[in-house]
Structure 1
Amino acid sequence: MKKIIFLSLVVLSFVYTSCVSKKKLIDAEARAKEMQLKLDKNDKNQADCSQLRTQLNDALNQVKLKEVEVEAEKTRTQSYERQVDNLKNTNQNLLDRMSDLSVLSKTGAENIKKSLETMSEQGRYIKDLNASVQKKDSLNMALVMNIKRSLDNVNDKDINVEVKKGVVYISISDKLMFKSGSDDVLASAENVLSKIAKVVNDHKDFDILVEGHTDNVPMKTACIDDNWDLSAKRATSIVRYLQRKYKVDPKRMTAGGRGEHIPKTSN
């Protein structure tokens, strides 16, 4: 009887130990999965953080560039203001002397007065012009930042936003808009065009020029004569798309084709 009892205890002990080991294994696997999920989430957060840091650096570089331009504009403004002050002082000195110059004829005095008034008007014009330039630069910068924020999920290689000579340029890869050799707007273009249309509709002080570009590979179809014709039809398709789908005022838009003559990339 003792042997039977002993064997039973051994079997029971073995079963109990197996259950405990299996439970520990399951718990360990659960913890490992949980840790892996946390690691995956951490990797994604780091990637997102890196992308945001890149976007922030781009924005900061734009701001620094604009600060340099504003500082240069400020220097020019100060120079203009000094010129205006000098003109005012000269005007006043001449006006003071006019009252003491009895030999001047009435006609001569009036001519001098008109000249001085003209100089004063020129000074005001310079100040107004400078203020207008500064306002335009500020509006352009705000527009660029709005467009970049709206298009932050678009591949940087497919779209570029910049300011050149006081004009905001948005360059979009043709593969986002059209099939090769076609002027029909792709359905996938709606993602970009809808966001651009919203910004355009929110900034009604700006007019829009849509330019089409092609490479220098010759082409001709029953409906398209050459690359120049294709680029013009593509530009027209875009403005019609913006007008019909997003109600952009057609009076604000102009469509033009550049063909292969001013390519956006090397041929």
Structure 2
Amino acid sequence: MSKKNKRHQEHEEHPDESWLLPYSDLMTLLLAMFIVLFGMSNVDSQKFRELSEAFNSVLTGGHGVLDQTSMNSNTKTSNEDISKAASELITKKTTDMMRKKEQENLEALKKQLDDYIKQNGLTNDLDTKLNQSQLMITIRDNALFPSGEADVKPDARILAKAISNMLQQFPDYEVIVSGHTDNIPISNREFPSNWDLSSVRALNFMKILLLNDQLDPKKFSAIGYGEYHPVSPNDTNVGRALNRRVEVSIIRKYLDPATPQLGVTSAHE
């Protein structure tokens, strides 16, 4: 046998291993992705160990990318677990960022409202409160309506316009306008009950807010609660005056599941 043929045969005995380079690059990228995802969120040590074991199983479970027989059911499950965990981590991180941004937005809106209240001497008539469910604006009924009526006072229209101008900065939020009364029964031709009075008051005030065409009516709703959600005992004039009110609630979109949520109508209770 000639030396040329002998060298040719020896060369053919070695398989082509050029695929190893892209394979190693792929494994490096996967490892980098795993480290980045882990760094994006704090997970408990147990979950980290499970992910590490699953990831190691993927890296060491087979003898080559072309050896399909090495992909057993455990490796497939590990792949699914990693994909699911990565998706959950990214979703949690995104939600946390959006919740933080929402908090900043609502705090900014509250400050605007508080500044307006102070500048216009309305501290006895309006109040704001930010909690884990909503930003609530409480307006005493005497600032909006004549006693026992539901037509908004002309001066109160200026207030409604100011509130609507602030709300238009946050057009994606759901807004609930709710009416409340004290427990003294009302019965006349226009309002057979406190339910009717509170409902019409909420509706009328909401309609004035929506004169601002920058607001989306689909985001607004009006509710009448009558006397059934008091914030103060009804056994004094002061208590009854506090219960007669209209509340404008800007509802959070990103609620913290770890925090007990307050009901929309119970923020004062």
TM over 0.5: yes
Query: 1:207 and 2:174 equivalent?
Result: yes
Deviation at 1:105, TM superposition (A): 5.7
Residue 206 (structure 1) shift: 2.5
> SS where residue 202 of structure 1 aligns?
coil
* Match for residue 82 of structure 1 among 32, 39, 42: 42
1:228 aligns with 2:195: yes
When residues 80 and 213 of structure 1 are mapped into structure 2, their CA distance, relative to the original with a 3 A threshold, is farther
What is the percent sequence identity of the aligned residues?
22
Residue 138 of structure 1, aligned match among 83, 87, 104: 104
* Conserved 8 A contact 2:54-2:81: no
2:185 counterpart (218, 224, 243): 218
Question: Which whole-Å CA distance do the structure 1 matches of 2:180 and 2:121 have between them?
Answer: 20
Give me the TM-score of the superposition, normalised by structure 2: 0.63
> Is contact 1:227–1:260 with CA below 8 Å preserved after alignment?
yes
Q: Which amino acid aligns with 2:43?
A: Q
Matches within 5 A, 1:27-66: none
* Contact 1:140/1:166 (8 A) holds in 2: no
CA contact (8 A) 1:88 1:120 kept: no
Residue 73 of structure 2: aligned partner: 107
Query: Hey, what does 1:96 align to over in structure 2?
Result: 56
| Change in 2 beyond 3 A, CA 1:98/1:207 | closer
CA contact (8 A) 2:163 2:209 kept: no
Letter in 2 for 1:173: R
Query: RCO greater where, 1 or 2, for CA within 8 Å and sep 6 or more?
Result: 2
Q: Distance in 1 between matches of 2:176 and 2:103?
A: 19
The structure carrying a bigger helix percent of its residues is 1
Give the aligned partner of residue 216 of structure 2: 249
Q: Which amino acid aligns with 2:128?
A: V
Give the corresponding residue for 2:91.
125
Q: Does 1:263 align with 2:230?
A: yes
Q: Which runs of 5+ in 2 are unaligned?
A: 1-38, 63-68, 235-269
Q: What is the distance in 1 between the residues matched to 2:175 and 2:61?
A: 58
Cα root mean square deviation, aligned: 2.7
Does structure 1 residue 148 correspond to structure 2 residue 102?
no
Query: How far does residue 90 in structure 1 lie from its aligned partner after superposition?
Result: 4.4
Return the match for 1:239 from 206, 217, 221: 206
Identify unmatched segments of 5+ residues in structure 1. Answer: 1-78
Bigger Rg over Cα = 1
2:34 alignment partner in structure 1: none
Contact 2:106 2:135 in 1 (8 A): yes
Distance of aligned partners of 1:179 and 1:80 in 2 relative to their CA distance in 1, 3 Å threshold? farther
Maintained 8 Å contact 1:160/1:171: yes
| Native 8 Å contact 1:136 1:166 kept in 2 | no
Identify the residue that residue 193 of structure 1 maps to in structure 2. 160
Aligned counterparts of 1:80 and 1:216: Cα–Cα separation in 2: 53
Q: 1:190 to 1:154 in 2, by over 3 A?
A: farther
Q: Specify the code of the residue in structure 2 equivalent to 1:180.
A: S
Question: When the two structures are aligned, how many residues end up with a matched partner?
Answer: 189
- For 1:94, the aligned partner's letter is A
Q: Is the 8 A contact 1:162 1:168 kept in 2?
A: yes
Partner residue of 2:30? none
- Structure 2 letter corresponding to 1:97: S
